[in-house]
Chains A and B, each alone.
Chain A
Amino acid sequence: MQGTESPSCLLFVVVDMELYHGALDVKEIFNRWLEDENSSNYGAYIPFVGTIRAEDNIEALSFDIYEPVLQSWFDSWVKKAESRGAKVKMAHAIGDVPVHTSSYISAVFSPKRRVALELIDEFVEDFKANAPIWKYDVIDGKRIYAEDRSTPMSGSGLLSQK
């Protein structure tokens, strides 16, 4: 492993969704997911890893998560994937994640490549748009909400109606 950051602490895991305090141990998660599905007869395993880039003088990114709604969102994707014979998994960090480490991994397993290639695209894009996670830049130890990179969730504006 690169770097000297302390190992991340697993906060909790439900079926196929894992939340960690701090950066993810990508190799451990990758390998474990691969081993878990060793005998499942999936022909395709497509992981996506999000890594924090050094830009705009940030030291880290930081994340807040609203777990109950994230769980419902993820569960709906588990069902969507199942209906296509596939399986989705994800892991995400809570709190500070230093540059050049990873905050997010998702993956799709499916019998054949086409479903997995399509699903990973849809799953990651919907994650960006509708998973209840808030991102902050960490600069000089301060957390600054990444407002310009954030997207209003489906149904936003309901309470601004007169």
Chain B
Amino acid sequence: MVKVEFLGPINQETLEIEANTLADVANALQEIEAVSSWLEKCAVAVNDEMTNDLNRVLNAGDRVSILPPVCGG
């Protein structure tokens, strides 16, 4: 199981899902109505490291963070 946490304004509790790669996480999240509309504009971190690789392998206990559009300052 990996943990998926939603940061900032996304109103969704942390999920625990079965996933071997980020592509599995993508498939799972696309099925969840409350989060699917966010995915197009969200970036992704695994264990606090930003990633662009959908084939990134995930291990049990990994933490996937979903980062919506930002505006600091």
A residues engaging B (CB < 8 A)? 50, 63-66, 68-69, 72, 92, 103-104, 124, 127-136, 145-147, 149-162
Contacts and interface: CB of A to CB of B under 8 A. Distances in A.
Contacts of A158: 22, 26, 42-44, 51-52, 54
B9 A157 contact: no
Interface extent on B, as a size class?
20 to 34
A127 B72 contact: yes
Given A64-B8, A128-B70, A162-B30, 13 more contacts: A68-B48, A69-B45, A69-B65, A72-B48, A129-B70, A131-B72, A133-B70, A133-B71, A153-B43, A155-B44, A156-B40, A158-B54, A159-B22
Contacts of B58: none
B61 interface: no
Contacts of A156: 40-43, 69
A129 B69 CA distance: 9
A151 B23 CA distance: 24
Interface of B is mostly: mixed
15 contacts: A69-B48, A92-B72, A128-B70, A132-B67, A136-B9, A145-B8, A151-B69, A152-B42, A154-B43, A155-B50, A158-B22, A158-B44, A159-B25, A160-B40, A161-B23
Q: Tell me which of A72, A131, A145 has the highest count of chain B C-beta atoms within 10 A of its own C-beta.
A: A145
B18 to A, nearest CB: 16
Contacts of B71: 128, 133-135, 146, 149-151
B36 to A, nearest CB: 8
A130 B70 contact: yes
What are the 6 closest A-B residue pairs judged by CB atoms, nearest first?
Answer: A133-B72, A134-B8, A150-B69, A153-B43, A145-B9, A68-B48
